[in-house]
Structure 1
Amino acid sequence: MPTDDTRKTATGSVSRRTVLALAAGALATPALIRSAHAAGYPERFVTFIVPFAPGGPTDAMARVVAGPLGELLGQTVVIENRGGAGGNIGIGAVGRATPDGYTMLLTSSAYVVNPSLYKTVPYDPFKDFLPVSNLGSSPNVFVANPQAGIKTLADLVKKAKAEPGKLSYASPGAGTTPHLAMELLKVRAGIDILHVPFSGAGPAMQAVLGNQVPLASTALPPAHPQIKAGKVIGLAETGAKRWYDLPDLPTVMESGYPDFESETFQALFTPTGTPQAVIDKMSKSVIEVLNRADVKERLNKAGFGVLAQGPAELAALVQKEVPMWREIIKTSGISAD
């Protein structure tokens, strides 16, 4: 017959096992719930957070895709802009979101640039997110207000050399690829131009249109309609070849700077821990929408090249571009801090 002590020990032992089992179950529950929800995903609206102000290329891409994607998924795709700190605020917010597929990040090349540009960023590009789809890319472009008296890239370099430090240019923000493109031009051309960062390409373009800043470096989409309308003068673009419906806009390479090429990508990521079934469904759906003739035409006319790539291609791009931009930033001495 068990003594009081053995009864207490046995009771205590059962109690510990029960507690451990409950703890293990509690830890497993979120993953099991996410897995169960993945089968019927999406069951409610999905939010794409764009880490820049409205009016920029990432915002434009998101809004072209959101409507038809929502129709295909059977649920609304909401675009939420959270700009600031070159995209770091919005990227960090998504990294902290529940990994269930209902909050995703639609961002630009800032995702791969910022870890090398800032002393600290609120995310690890390899650990905190999983790739979903690489939607498209666009070249960067240098533009001038017509009142600036600058009509070509050669004019810009000549004026900057004659008046060191007096010219200024707007960019979508510190660390964006348009910012880096102009900084690289400054190094290559040996000129000094003041950088005026904005919280997105939309505000940067408005500053140039209002002649608050004479120059801008931005991705092509927000500048495209303004160049076509003659409201700004396109000086040069950073693609490998001229944009198809801007035949008079030369590339930077044509303008005397060999091997000068940079583009801004637009890609969709999701927090690490998101069920693979959710990633696969979203990626497949995004690619299907991007391959629609009407969507592709809208994006081409807006200044985007459509890529429509899946997780594997996007993962390879991140692996390639993080060290590439690290080396460029280190060599040029550019810093956002």
Structure 2
Amino acid sequence: MKTILRRQLALHALAAAIGAAWACAPSAANAQPSSPAIDYPNKPVRLIVGGGSELPARVVAAYLSTTWKQQVNVEPLPSAGGVVAARTVKDAPADGYTLLNTTGAYLLNQAARTPPPFVMSRDFVPVALLGTAPQIVVVPSSLPVKNIAELVAYSKAHPNTVNCASAGVGGSSHLACEMLRHYTKADVQHLPFRGVGPALVDVSAGRAHVTYTAVAALGAIKEGRLRAIAVTGAKRLGALPDVPTVTEQGFPQLTLITWYGIHAPARTPAAVVDLLNRAIDKAVKDPAVMQGLVNAGLEPETMPVAAFSSFMAAQEESVTRLWRESGAKID
């Protein structure tokens, strides 16, 4: 747990250092000019963070605050798995001054709840993608399994005893646990925790047997307290080059990525959305921001507004299908 906290503090410090460096750099004076047709931004911008890490938002916000010469304030509202954050932005004026830092968890909330607390395609407009990230499948170093097939076999040899820990009900790690159970017929039970930190603590101690995580587990993996047995993305992680993907292991149906992006309230003017998209594109391509996003566990990626809209539609279809096929429930 101390390793996780140290990493989070270090990443917060990196975001602050990035902002300070831009403020002192000669290029900071060459801020992206606002369109002559719109005077944006002419006051501070709120960037609301619900579920997921707030670190990607802070790194991007530091860059925008400096180049715009207007503060972009990151406001964490993690209650109810991001539902409070989503409703806050949904009900805000559609003027570009209140934005939502989105992740795949928002589409999961939409798929899991009846009626859904919000509908992404109706209540928000896609602004920009920041990056994507696979999940890392980890087990205690004491558990005698080194891959997905061995984990499935172990669960069947120890019926009703193997737990799959998640960071909470309705999140991506919850879905991943249910996918493991459904698609491999593993004898595993979902065990929800209040966040990724507590889940990793119990898996490290052997009180839970498997979980899905991202950058937060790298320290424990390198220290030998956790063993990484698979990556759920399309390719291996640079930080863990020896850990094969689920597809390489013969389980392509376990592929699952998460993503981080920015959304605005529905009916936000297209000119503001376009300006935001171009500004965030420049931010993500800045070397310091890119490194900050990598350190936060993302593979940085940007795309135009139309492409991001198509990406969101495909993600919504995929997440809804996976949730329903897996039989996952939030109660």
Give TM-score scaled by structure 1 length.
0.79
Looking at structure 2, the residues matched to 241 and 77 of structure 1 have their Cα atoms a distance apart, in angstroms, of 34
1:100 matched residue in structure 2? 95
Whether the 8 Å CA contact 1:132–1:282 is kept in 2: the answer is yes
Report what 1:254 is aligned to: 248
Alignment of 1:39-188 (within 5 A): 39-52=38-51, 56=52, 58-188=53-183
> Residues of 2 paired with 1:323 and 1:277: CA distance?
28
Among 190, 197, 200, the alignment partner of 1:205 is 200
- Percent of aligned pairs sharing the same letter: 34
* Distance verdict in 2 for CA 1:258–1:215, change over 3 Å: closer
Letter matched to residue 42 of structure 1: P
Question: Alignment length, in residue pairs?
Answer: 296
Alignment match of 2:328 (pick from 312, 320, 334): 334
Distance of aligned partners of 1:280 and 1:203 in 2 relative to their CA distance in 1, 3 Å threshold = farther
Tell me, in whole angstroms, the C-alpha distance in 1 between the residues paired with 2:71 and 2:219: 28
Tell me which residue corresponds to 2:210.
215
Alignment of 1:283 with 2:263, yes or no, is: no
CA contact (8 A) 1:138 1:221 kept: no
Contact 1:64 1:295 in 2 (8 A): yes
Q: Could you tell me which runs of 5 or more consecutive residues in structure 2 were left unpaired when the two chains were aligned.
A: 1-36
Residue of structure 2 equivalent to 1:308: 302
**How far apart are residue 335 of structure 1 and its match?**
2.0
The amino acid of 2:328's aligned partner reads I
- Aligned equivalents of 1:150, 1:279: Cα separation in 2: 48
RMSD over equivalenced CA pairs, Å: 2.4
Compared with structure 1, are the counterparts of its residues 236 and 289 closer, same or farther at alpha carbon in structure 2 (3 Å cutoff)? same
Q: 1:261 to 1:221 in 2, by over 3 A?
A: same
CA distance in 2, matches of 1:311, 1:212: 45
TM-score (norm 2): 0.80
**CA-CA distance at 1:209 after TM superposition:** 4.4
Distance 1:309 1:199, change over 3 A: farther
Segments of structure 1 that go 5 or more residues without pairing to the other structure are: 1-37
Distance 2:219 2:306 in 1: 33
Q: Which residue of 2 aligns with 1:297?
A: 291
Which of residues 232, 235, 243 is equivalent to 1:241?
A: 235
Partners of 1:50 and 1:165 in 2: CA distance? 37
Superimposed CA distance per residue, residues 38-67 of structure 1 (whole angstroms, 9 cap, x where no aligned partner): 933223322211112xxx4x4232122221
Q: Within 2, Cα distance between the matches of 1:232 and 1:129?
A: 39
Q: Is the 8 A contact 1:134 1:313 kept in 2?
A: no
- Quick one: which amino acid aligns to residue 173 of structure 2? P
How many Å separate the matches in 2 of 1:65 and 1:198? 29
Larger gyration radius, structure 1 or structure 2: 1
- The question of whether the paired residues in 2 share the 8 Å contact of 1:112 and 1:318 is answered with no
Aligned-partner SS, 1:235? strand
For 1:198 and 1:81, the matched residues in 2 are separated by: 20
Matched AA of 1:309: M
CA distance in 2, matches of 1:119, 1:200: 23
Using the alignment, how far apart are the partners of 1:158 and 1:237 within structure 2? 19
